[in-house]
Amino acid sequence: MNLSVSLILIFAIPAGAAAVLALVPGYRLSSRINMFASLMTLAAGVSLFFIPAHTDNYLLLDDLNIVFIVLNSFVGFTTSVFSASYITHELDTGRLTPAYLRFYHAMYQVMMFGMNLALIANNIGLMWVAIELATLATILMVGIYRTHEALEAAWKYFILGSVGIGFALFGTILVYMAAQPVVGEGLPAMVWSVLVARAGDFDPALLNIAFIFLLLGYGTKVGLAPLHAWLPDAHAEGPTPISAVLSGLLLNVALYAVLRFKMLLAANTGALAPGPLMMAMGLLSLIFAAFMLYRRRDIKRMFAYSSIEHMGIIVFAFGFGGPLANFAGLLQMTMHSLAKSAIFFAVGHIAQAKGTQRIAEIRGLTASHPVLGWALVLGVVAIAGMPPLGVFMSEFLVVSSTFARESWLAIPLVFGLLVAFGALMLRLNGLAFGEAAGSTAKVKASYLPMFGHLALVLAAGVYLPPALVLWFQHVAGMLG
């Protein structure tokens, strides 16, 4: 078999699966199809490692996007496994009906289709369409419970998301305008690999404005601080598998788009340096979210703010640039995706077992549900950045590379990290330890996805395979 077919397969499988799932009535069958399709997508994603780099007018495969695609497909697959056990409980309690589940599964694959297409697109117009599609699918899923809160969250997400989408498209058009005099009219002026090769000749002023719009537009999706308002609501009110993929994946895809345009700007010597802008937004997100963590009463909302905090760190690291900081940013992104989705898997089952998402009503989890409780402890310890877990290592790298070059910038960074650490530990203490409160009913949970993720995070903290290190170093070099 010609392996380069897998370039197409990574988005063709989800698209086909979405069509099939829209027609299959039974939810047991469709959750299996969902898992199977996600597994096949993962297989296609992994097979990308074995084919040579590829560039044409629509698709692009280089060392940078393989990392994103494999991470995306992997978390997509584990979430589909978690989702299968999660929705069974939602059906039993009557929060969802079989008809909605059919819609839910189809939308899940539409979202995977959009994200994978965005990651492999070489055409900036195509990338925009794909991110837009993934966003629309998640908006529909956030509103699926049809409660007041869910509808409000979906509406807010829709309004803020559309403004972001509009800004991103305007930025895309401006990039085309900048490229058109140099590259010529038509398709090539929207092809990223062509743009980056000839970006040196573009009009810097136009590129600057384009980047501002793109950063604001896609930055809304990343959840950067002044534009983050949709994120906590969408995480808290949607089904938990969707919270996991929002935090673990969709934010990364938007970040990927920002990184591609950052590389474009870096190739033009006359344009403004994108780094300081990204660093400022990253630090603002980190410190703002760290303080917001203290006042949260809803458990999913709290972890949503923790996602804002981590995206802040990651954007800061990429904005800081240089081989070490980029390496740290990539590692932090991978670790955050794995750890945060594991936390959401645990939180989903906990909320089902306790029948509430309110932090005040969840206590003593390690006594009432030992396995879930300890999974949550492990996850929160990981996300807070305690050694020897992977997040500690990446955060340590971010801080040390900052300290080496711009030591005064390390002060707000470490301050934000410590504030967030304190908040998470404070809440974890109440959630996991002490007298058990609320229902102690057993819950049928799928432990494999969350412990799989946590094991990977632990393994990365103890030992990073040299092949992975080399790969990341190479990608870090590409990012400049």
Partner 1 sequence: MPDLGFDIAHMLAGSLVLVSLMMLYQDRLPALINVFAVHAMLLAGSVAWQAYVQDEPQLYITSAIALGFKGVMIPMALRRIIFRLGIHREIEPVVSTGLTMLAGMALVALAMVVMLRATPEATPLAREDLAFALSVLLLGLLMMVSRRNAVGQVVGFMSLENGLILAATGARGMPLVVEISVAFSILIAFIVIGIFLFRIRERFDTVDVQVLDQFRGERP
- Work out which of 174, 222, 271, 399 binds partner 1, going by CB under 8 A: 174
The tokens for 292 are: 């917001």
In degrees and rounded to multiples of 5, residue 54 shows phi and psi of: -140, 140
- Work out which of 120, 126, 263, 397 binds partner 1, going by CB under 8 A: 126
- Work out which of 155, 415, 433, 471 binds partner 1, going by CB under 8 A: 155
What spatial distance separates the first Cα and last Cα of the chain, rounded to whole Å?
36
One-character DSSP codes across 6-62: HHHHHHHHHHHHHHHHHH---HHHHHHHHHHHHHHHHHHHHHGGGS--EE-SSBEE-
From the list 13-21, 147-155, 193-201, 377-385, the region that binds partner 1 by CB under 8 A is 147-155
Q: Does 190 bind partner 1 (CB under 8 A)?
A: yes
# chain residues binding partner 1, by CB under 8 A: 52
- Work out which of 18, 60, 69, 153 binds partner 1, going by CB under 8 A: 153
Distances (CA, A) of 23 to 30, 77, 101: 9, 21, 12
From the list 23-31, 293-301, 363-371, 449-457, the region that binds partner 1 by CB under 8 A is 293-301
Residue 9: HSE in the Cβ half-sphere, 13 Å Cα cutoff: 19
| 123: amino acid identity, one letter | N
Q: CA-to-CA distance for 59 and 256, rounded, in angstroms?
A: 15
Closest distance to partner 1 from the beta carbon of 186 (Å): 5
How many other C-beta atoms can be found within 10 angstroms of the C-beta atom of residue 224?
28
- Comparing CB distances to partner 1, the nearer of 143 and 385 is 143
> Position of tokens 């992104």?
333
**206 touches 174 (CB < 8 A):** yes
Q: Does 193 bind partner 1 (CB under 8 A)?
A: no
> Position of tokens 């994108």?
274
The tokens for 183 are: 């590259």
Q: Does 419 bind partner 1 (CB under 8 A)?
A: no
- Work out which of 132, 320, 342, 384 binds partner 1, going by CB under 8 A: 132
Q: Does 180 bind partner 1 (CB under 8 A)?
A: yes
Q: Does 152 bind partner 1 (CB under 8 A)?
A: yes
Closest distance to partner 1 from the beta carbon of 176 (Å): 5
Closest distance to partner 1 from the beta carbon of 9 (Å): 22
- Comparing CB distances to partner 1, the nearer of 155 and 415 is 155
Q: Does 186 bind partner 1 (CB under 8 A)?
A: yes
Q: CA-to-CA distance for 177 and 187, rounded, in angstroms?
A: 12
Q: Enumerate the β-bridge partners of residue 358.
A: 298
Q: Does 196 bind partner 1 (CB under 8 A)?
A: no
Contacts of 351 (CB under 8 A, 6+ apart): 240, 299, 300, 357
- Work out which of 206, 436, 443, 458 binds partner 1, going by CB under 8 A: 206
Q: Does 444 bind partner 1 (CB under 8 A)?
A: no
Closest distance to partner 1 from the beta carbon of 455 (Å): 33
One-character DSSP codes across 87-115: HHHHHHTTSS-HHHHHHHHHHHHHHHHHH
Q: CA-to-CA distance for 237 and 222, rounded, in angstroms?
A: 18
Q: Does 470 bind partner 1 (CB under 8 A)?
A: no
- Work out which of 85, 105, 108, 237 binds partner 1, going by CB under 8 A: 237
- Work out which of 92, 149, 201, 406 binds partner 1, going by CB under 8 A: 149
390's enclosing H/E stretch is: helix 390-405
How many other C-beta atoms can be found within 10 angstroms of the C-beta atom of residue 1?
6
- Comparing CB distances to partner 1, the nearer of 304 and 419 is 304
Q: Does 442 bind partner 1 (CB under 8 A)?
A: no
Q: Which 296-325 positions form the footprint of partner 1 (CB under 8 A)?
A: 296-298, 301
Short-list 179, 170, 187, CA closest to 122: 187
- Work out which of 51, 177, 386, 414 binds partner 1, going by CB under 8 A: 177
Closest distance to partner 1 from the beta carbon of 26 (Å): 24
From the list 37-45, 47-55, 232-240, 339-347, the region that binds partner 1 by CB under 8 A is 232-240
Q: CA-to-CA distance for 244 and 437, rounded, in angstroms?
A: 26
**Buried (b) or exposed (e) across 117-129, using 16+ Cβ within 10 A?**
bbbbbbbbbbbbb
- Comparing CB distances to partner 1, the nearer of 133 and 409 is 133
Q: Does 458 bind partner 1 (CB under 8 A)?
A: no
Q: Does 187 bind partner 1 (CB under 8 A)?
A: yes
Q: Does 342 bind partner 1 (CB under 8 A)?
A: no
The binding site for partner 1 (CB under 8 A) comprises: 123, 125-126, 128-129, 132-133, 136, 139-140, 143, 146, 148-149, 151-155, 158-159, 162-163, 165-166, 169-170, 172-174, 176-177, 180-181, 185-187, 189-190, 203, 205-206, 208-209, 232-233, 236-237, 296-298, 301
